Amino acid sequence: MASPNMTKLTAMVHYIIASVPAEQASELSHDYTWLETAETAMEKSQLDFYKEVQSELLKNYANQIIAVKDGVCLGSYKTRVDALRDMESRGFKNGTYLIILCTPGEKEYTTFFANSWLFASRAVAHGC
């Protein structure tokens, strides 16, 4: 069973790839085997580091896409793809940094899932 941090990391990777325009998506690697290795190597997740310094980062990088490693901003970018390319070109291994839109609050790294179920009496369901 995957750890909660592993699940968060996987969700973030899928979020980044899902937010990439279709014409650029084919350029990204879809090999997620690095996730397990990266997660076990990290005692403290990059998201935890980001949360600790989020208010400080907001002062300089509000509403910008940034790459963060160990609580330090490595750069700001126009797109997530630009950030990913830069991190790869600088030799950072996938899963050892965080690419995130620097915004206040938890909205950027928290997702809410809900199911909607329609309950009706038998008479309504059958048109009686």
pLDDT of residue 39: 47
pLDDT of residue 68: 94
Best CA proximity match to 25, nearest among 13, 36, 34: 13
Res. 74 pLDDT band, cuts 50 70 90: very high
pLDDT of residue 77: 97
Cα–Cα distance measured from residue 73 to residue 34, given in angstroms and rounded to the nearest whole number? 22
pLDDT of residue 22: 60
Distances (CA, A) of 56 to 51, 53, 113, 125: 10, 5, 29, 55
State the residue for tokens 């910008």.
Answer: 64
68 HSE (CA, 13 A, CB side) = 25
pLDDT of residue 109: 83
Q: What angle do CA 40, 45, 50 make, to 5 degrees?
A: 165
Which letter, b or e, does each residue of 35-71 get, where b requires 16 or more Cβ atoms within 10 Å of its Cβ?
beebbeebeebbbebbeeebeebeeebeebbbbbeeb
pLDDT of residue 42: 47
> Does position 66 have pLDDT exceeding 60, yes or no?
yes
Q: What is the pLDDT of residues 14-54, one digit of tens each?
A: 666 666 666 665 555 555 555 545 544 446 789 989 999 99
